[in-house]
Amino acid sequence: GSESLWQTYQDYFLMGTIFDNSSNLDPANDRGRLTTTHFNVLTCQNCMNPDALSTGGAGTQGTFRIGPGLTATADTLCTGAIEKGMKVHGHVLVWHAQTPNWINGGTGGNYTRAQARANMERYIKTVVEHFDSRYPGTVISWDVVNEAFVDGVGSIPEGADWRNYLRQGNQSGWYKAYSNGMLPGEHPSDFIYDAFVFARRYTNAKLFYNDFNMYQDGKSKLVALMVMDLNQRYKNEYPSDPRPLIEGVGDQGHNYIQDTPPSSVENGFRNLLAAGVDLAVSELDLFCWFPW
């Protein structure tokens, strides 16, 4: 039949694909026809990453590439999505990679927790309010935090603390800065909670945590523990908000035919769904050879 993928599955889920530049929506080429026919949500490949929307070194105030009189590729995406009747999933607000050092100091910086937290709020507020005000109703969801956990956690012991499995300061400027200047009762992992609270404060979009290799039983269980823990903390601190803080998890879905059997992928899905969130397969590639 001539029905498109998104129409076929519209009663069940949204069908998303990647956006790199405006040619991806041009019906004069195969990619453009494929994108506009079969998908109803677009996600930036890189054009909404922090280093695409702002620039600046550690210790500076930083400069935004979005705002009055400025047009970033992400603006082109939103304009194109509106023209084609599509929605946008925002990716990504807080990540250890592709982030200018003005925000958190980077892994080589010596920012304090307070500095990084203030810059995080400024960054998130500026970005989500820009897209909400200029393109109302277009960016329906955001990956708020990306890839905060270490990889290769095949299993975890009973009673494991998810906070012990995060990328530490040698990998994450967020973890490093949040370790610097802590008060009693605080933890470096608090950057994750803060990011979601700031995002909720400034946008009504649906908020996702996103990570890869969630077919690993341990890794998907750790993410589920984190989601349930932070959602309970939020419920305790903001009882008037009827919504869970983290409403979705993105499972990147890089699957190798020799390494990620369907049973493992399904098990990861079940572990995440047990946290009471919606699930997105946020990237999907299928490789017919051994990983790496």
CB burial readout 268-285, b (16+ within 10 A) else e? bbebbeebebebbebbee
Residue 164: Cβ within 10 Å count:
11
Given 26, 51, 161, 283, the catalytic residue: 283
Residue 211 a catalytic site member: yes
Distances from the Cα of 93 to the Cαs of 119, 160, 191, 203, 249, in angstroms? 12, 27, 12, 12, 14
Given 143, 190, 194, 211, the catalytic residue: 211
For 92, list phi and psi in degrees, rounded to 5: -155, 155
- Is the peptide bond between 92 and the residue preceding it cis, with omega within 30 degrees of 0? yes
Element (H, E) at 222: helix 217-237
Q: What tokens were used for 104?
A: 């958190």
Given 147, 190, 229, 251, the catalytic residue: 147
Cβ atoms of 57 and 102 closer than 8 Å:
yes
Residue 83 sits at the vertex; the CA angle it makes with 142 and 144, to the nearest 5 degrees, is 5
Phi and psi based region of residue 132 (left: phi greater than 0; alpha: psi -120 to 50; beta: remaining): alpha
Q: How far apart are CA 113 and CA 188, in angstroms?
A: 9
Residue 283 a catalytic site member: yes
- For strand 54-55 and strand 63-64, is the pairing parallel, antiparallel, or unpaired? antiparallel
Q: How far apart are CA 242 and CA 167, in angstroms?
A: 31
Q: How far apart are CA 174 and CA 146, in angstroms?
A: 12
Active centre residues (catalytic): 147, 211, 283
